Amino acid sequence: MLWAENSLTAFRGALTLPVDQVETDVRLSLDHEPFLLHDATLDRTTIATGIASRLDFATLSTIALKGSPGDTIPHLSQLLELLAPSAIDLRLEMKCDADEQCQPNLPPIVLAHLDRAGMRSRTTITSFECDYLKAFEATPGLAGRIWLVRRPLALELGFEKLVQTAISESIGEIALHISQASLTDRNMAEKAGLRLGFFGANDTTAIAEAFTRRASAFTTDRPDLAVAYRLGQRASSA
């Protein structure tokens, strides 16, 4: 990983690269402020411990991120302020609370912040939880909604059933972990009018697989490698 996960340093670094989107994870604090953290707990990525959503944002904003030059847990609005004047769009993953329950206040709060920053049309909402995606189904003007599919569920249902489920839920794009790329059927997805992407493409081999599979988009912790691979492909085909 180039920079500390979900840090403002990482977002600023991404803005210096020729990438299409920045991806992050959003949760609600105890006082209903949207903050950026992947895990439900603080333990892995910060110097603190415990459940993040049980703290107010004033407290969260003082907690340092591991491996960063002094970064603390950021508020969604801080990222939007960075992105708004740039040409890079946002891919925003909606996270559940510590009990794996969707937070019903999260979608309207997120939308209010997107609108305040003028970022609604440049934001794609993603989630492993279809309930979150449904909450945005009637929201006009978003760049899109993506169903992130957990690996056990992908194996359990199979790709054909995943496609059918996405269509029945009016979801236009699904994303699988890159390790399950071989399970996918591009022709089936395209015939159903469904876009197909991946997440977790964090090394050169996985990045190459995502490009080879013609992913609509993919997320990576190593955007430098993805950029280098794309430039190399363009140079070889010139």
The rounded average pLDDT for each run of 10 residues, N- to C-terminus, in the chain (238 residues) is: 94 96 97 97 98 97 97 98 98 92 95 98 97 95 97 96 94 97 93 96 97 95 95 79
Residue 179's nearest CA partner among 198, 159, 153 is: 198
| Residue 82, pLDDT score | 98
| Residue 98, pLDDT score | 85
The answer to whether 211 touches 230, Cβ cutoff 8 Å, is yes
| Residue 234, pLDDT score | 75
Looking at beta carbons, which pairs linking 191-194 to residues 24 or more positions away fall under 8 Å?
A: 192/163, 192/166, 192/167, 193/167, 194/163, 194/166, 194/167
The answer to whether 96 touches 25, Cβ cutoff 8 Å, is no
| Residue 238, pLDDT score | 64
Residue 181: other Cβ atoms inside 10 A:
18
| Residue 207, pLDDT score | 97
Mapped to the 3 state alphabet, what secondary structure does the chain carry?
CCCCCCCHHHHHHHCCCCCCEEEEEEEECCCCCEEECCCCECCCCECCCCEHHHCCHHHHCCCEECCCCCCECCEHHHHHHHHCCCCCEEEEEECCCCCCCCCCCHHHHHHHHHHHCCCHHHEEEEECCHHHHHHCCCCCCCCEEEEEECHHHHHHHCHHHHHHHHHHCCCCEEEEEHHHHHHCCHHHHHHCCCEEEEECCCCHHHHHHHHHCCCCCECCCCHHHHHHHHHHHHHHHC
Residue 158 CA to residue 165 CA, distance in Å, equals: 11
Tokens of 156: 């359990």
Model confidence, pTM: 0.95
